[in-house]
Amino acid sequence: MLEVEVDKLNTREAFNQFHELYVDTYDEVLKYVVCHVRSMSDVEDVIQDIYMAVFKKIKKHINREYVFGIAKHKVKDYYRFRYRREKDIWNFTDEIEDISDNLDILEFVIQVDQIDFVWDYLKHKNCLIGKIFFLYYYQNCSLKEIAYLLEITESNVKHYLYRTLKEIQVILKEEGGFHE
């Protein structure tokens, strides 16, 4: 377990220890924040707040658990100090097709402008969809893991992913920008 005892360290050593702690915890903290913060646009701000708090507390005894304690506290702050939006209520009465766990958006999103288009498109969708795409394509989480992390059913994850991929594919084909 990585632990930092900084009282005895100089500034350079403290920075190096902070960097090690950051590298060791970043991916897991990012997953935690993505799952617990409503808006994907706020994720970077919350992550920054977390690691600024860690850096300010670096003079104390710090370990992984301490970082996650700060993460939980900062997520609570996010909800306390920012307005709460009404959750979208979705009715999932449609039967969902079987979709394999290895859907690959990269099959039709090859060019950088298409990737930019996709993320811009996702910003205008339900926030949950952005979280699903982020966890699936950037964090390489399985559909089952995403369902667990977001506390929704695996079939809902598949539904959101499949439906949104189809929408993106149709739009790109209509604009003539679809590259297989």
Task: Write out pLDDT tens, residues 93-121.
Answer: 333 344 444 444 444 444 445 666 777 78
For residue 167, the model assigns a pLDDT of 87
Residue listed under structure tokens 């991929």? 165
Question: Between the ranges 32-41, 70-79, 108-117, where is the mean pLDDT highest?
Answer: 32-41
Write out the H or E segment, with its range, that includes residue 62.
strand 61-63
pLDDT at 130 over 80: yes
62 bridge partner residues = 4
The closest of 25, 62, 29 to 44, measured between CA atoms, is: 29
The pLDDT, as a whole number, for residue 101 is 43
Look at residue 19 and give its three-state secondary structure: helix
Q: Does domain 3-81 have CATH number 3.30.70?
A: no
Give me the pLDDT at residue 87, please: 37
> Among all chains, which residue has been given the structure tokens 């915890």?
25
Confidence grade of residue 135 (pLDDT, cut at 50, 70, 90): confident
pTM of the model: 0.50
pLDDT at position 25 over 60: yes
Please state the domain extents for the chain.
3-81, 105-174
Residue 80 — very low, low, confident or very high, per pLDDT cuts 50/70/90?
low
Could you identify the residue written with the tokens 């709460």? 84
Please give the CATH topology (third level) of the domain spanning 105-174. Answer: Arc Repressor Mutant, subunit A (1.10.10)
Q: Which of 1-15, 49-63, 119-133 has the highest mean pLDDT?
A: 119-133
Tell me what pLDDT residue 102 has: 44
- Confidence band of 158 (pLDDT split at 50, 70, 90): very high
Tell me what the mean pLDDT of segment 17-25 comes to.
Answer: 87
Length of the chain equals: 180
Q: What is the pLDDT of residue 113?
A: 56
> Does the pLDDT at position 84 exceed 70?
no
